[in-house]
Amino acid sequence: MNNILCIGEALIDMICTDRGSQLSDGNNFVKKPGGAPTNVAAAIGALGGNAWLAAMVGVDPFGDHLIDIMKGFNVQTKFMLQSKTSFTTFAFVSLLHSGERDFYFNRGADGQLSTNDVDDINMNDFTIAHFGSATAFLPGLLQAAYKHTLLQAKASNSFISFDPNYRHLLFQHDIPSFLNQSWDYLHNCHFFKVSDEEALMLTDTTTVADAAKVFIQKTTAIFAITIGKEGTLLGHNGNTTIIESIEINAVDTTGAGDAFVGAVLFQLSKLAVETIKNLPENEWQKIIKNANIAGARTCEYVGAMEAFKQIDKNIFN
């Protein structure tokens, strides 16, 4: 099993359990480990893969908690660093009766991961590098460290994976920046996963089929567009195929996309990098089918990381 590096934010989600209350009125909150690349690393670890997480947390109980959680998933934490000058990042979220989210992002240590910090990472040790963090596109040191690691991954001939993880509440006032940075990674990766909403936004189209055509024209990557209960559109060397998912009774969709990506990368990590880059379409279809199952099963449980442990590893045999 080859090593996979995930880089980006590790943070604490504070979920208001007083349904319909604004954050200012909420009294009860549940602490959950979060961050898209953190979730992906946990999913890989839960499946038995060799995941490493590069992220910055604070020297505080919440940073300690995130490191302990990752260790519990057998994720390597050598590159989970603790800032002495900044606190662990928090995201406070409350679901209003209107369906909208009241959101407050209290950014701390995640944005402090610097180029100097990631210079200690030898990308020759990693077959796969996954970039899955919307906060890395926010201004700050992490943005430069993220790009530096991308260039190092390319120089080391790693297989590069990308998930833009668009968060409207973070980028609603600077969408062009998010789009421009995303396209830089779309042009440089070997595989990317986007939701149907992200696909339409990134390509300025109105249908998933048209979005797929744009991705085929403008990128050389294998790509997956997740389309909910219908499954996933796989794009491979100019061809597109819909890979069906399974029927479930969804309880909580949090982390389903990260479970999907983790399942894809876990399966790829069994192969040499040149083999991965030349996998035929029928092999990719099997990989996406299994990832659909992993993502769907995650929705049957409350809480992303708790759900990862429930994924049946036998689907990958």
The pLDDT of residue 99 is 62
Q: What is the pLDDT at residue 19? A: 83
Residue type, 315: I
Please give the share of the chain, as a percent, with pLDDT higher than 90.
76
Total Cβ atoms within 10 A of residue 194: 27
Determine contact, residues 113/81, Cβ cutoff 8 Å: yes
Mean pLDDT in residue range 15-34: 90
- Reported in sequence order, the residue ranges of the chain that DSSP labels E, i.e. its strands, are 3-7, 11-16, 29-34, 50-58, 80-83, 90-95, 101-106, 128-131, 159-162, 191-195, 222-226, 232-236, 239-243
In which residue are the tokens 């099997």 written? Answer: 286
Reported as a pLDDT band with limits 50, 70 and 90, residue 302 is low
Mean pLDDT of 6-12: 96
As a whole number, the mean pLDDT across the chain is: 92
**Torsion angle in degrees (nearest 10) through CA of 181, 120, 80, 182:** 10
Among 17-21, 151-155, 201-205, the minimum mean pLDDT is found in: 17-21
Which letter does DSSP use for residue 76 in this model?
A: B
pTM score: 0.94
Confidence band (pLDDT; 50, 70, 90) for 259? very high
- Look at residue 242 and tell me whether its pLDDT is greater than 90: yes
Give the pLDDT confidence of 186-203 residue by residue, as tens digits.
999 999 999 999 999 999
Q: Answer whether residue 150 shows pLDDT above 80.
A: yes
What pLDDT is recorded for position 158? 97
Label the pairing between strands 232-236 and 239-243. Answer: antiparallel
Cα→Cα distances 304→21, 43, 108, Å: 23, 9, 22
pLDDT at 288 over 90: yes
Residue 169: band (very low, low, confident or very high) from pLDDT cuts 50, 70, 90: confident
